[in-house]
Amino acid sequence: MASKADKFLLLSGIFGPVVFILVIFVSGMLYPGYSHVSNVISDLGAAGSPVRDFMNIFGFMLYGISIVVFAAGVYKLRGKSLLGKTISVFFLLGGISMFLIGVFPSDAPCREGPRFCPAPTSAAEMHNIATYSTFLFMFPAFILLVIDTRNEKTMRYYFAVAGALGLIIAYFGYTWLTVDSYEKSLTAGLMQRATLAGLFLLMMYTSLKLHGLKKK
């Protein structure tokens, strides 16, 4: 079974998403005119946002740190094997990417389209790279974790749950990241939140299931 120290590290997979969600709601209430349906979460930490520092520090950066801590827990639990080390590294890189989203804020919201919006700043480009990187690192981590724990009795239904949530994340994530018109942008925030809801549920479910595993 996971030791008390390991469980403490793995609990960040539950506390991290909960705190992040609370920060989003508080930031949204303090941002006049902000819409959780049309505005993406990055707008809360964007240039000109009245809650920029609060969102970037206590939202993106803190959540990134929680993922890094979770990665340490996964390493202590499964790190003796090469596959376990690889999973830990992917979670680590995903956490670092999330942290960098807060380090490099996006530009102020612009809905007029590429032809009328100013060219993105270097910080905004780094922000977008960090956003994509978070998903590119986290997805393989969960897939490899399914493979690594396939013979564990306590992870019996993990494959099914992770698969279902993975499909939800992929569908809404694609819908959100491929917004190419003003009409689609009106629900971009909603699509992003649906994507993150799937990711948060997967992270929290994974954290709970890993508590019952023996060290490997």
Instruction: Give the percent of the chain with pLDDT over 90.
Output: 69
Which of these, 190, 158, 186, 157, lies nearest to 173 by C-alpha position? 190
Residue entry with tokens 């490997």: 216
Enumerate the H helices of the chain as residue ranges.
Answer: 4-10, 12-30, 52-55, 62-78, 82-103, 122-148, 158-177, 182-185, 188-210
Query: Does residue 215 belong to any structural domain of this protein?
Result: no
* pLDDT in the model for residue 59: 97
* pLDDT in the model for residue 184: 59
Structure confidence by residue, pLDDT tens digits, 149-178: 988 888 888 999 999 999 999 999 888 877
Total domain count, the chain:
1
In angstroms, the CA 196 to CA 97 distance is: 15
Query: Does residue 126 belong to any structural domain of this protein?
Result: yes
Query: Does residue 78 belong to any structural domain of this protein?
Result: yes
Both structure tokens of 26? 């508080």
Could you tell me the CA-to-CA distances from 207 to 9, 36, 157 in Å, in that order? 9, 27, 14
Query: Does residue 216 belong to any structural domain of this protein?
Result: no
Residue entry with tokens 């989203």: 101
Phi, psi values for residue 42, rounded to 5°: -60, -25
Could you tell me the CA-to-CA distances from 201 to 30, 41, 135, 197, 216 in Å, in that order? 26, 18, 15, 6, 25
pLDDT higher at 89 or 117? 89
What is the torsion angle, in degrees rounded to the nearest 10, for the CA atoms of residue 189, residue 194, residue 198 and residue 204? 60
Residue 175 contacts by C-beta under 8 Å, 6 or more apart in sequence? 191
In angstroms, the CA 64 to CA 93 distance is: 9
Range of 27-36, 154-163, 182-191 with top mean pLDDT: 27-36
Span of 25-29, 54-58, 78-82 with lowest mean pLDDT: 78-82
Both structure tokens of 153? 């009795």
Q: Determine the structural domain holding residue 206 and report its residue range.
A: 4-210
Query: Does residue 191 belong to any structural domain of this protein?
Result: yes
Both structure tokens of 158? 């993990």
Residue 103 has pLDDT above 80, yes or no: yes
Residue entry with tokens 């013979």: 151
Q: End-to-end alpha-carbon separation of the chain, Å?
A: 10
- Span 96-115, average pLDDT: 83
Residue 190 contacts by C-beta under 8 Å, 6 or more apart in sequence? 36, 37, 38
Residue 215 has pLDDT above 60, yes or no: no
**What is the residue type of 63?**
Y
Output the average pLDDT for the chain: 89
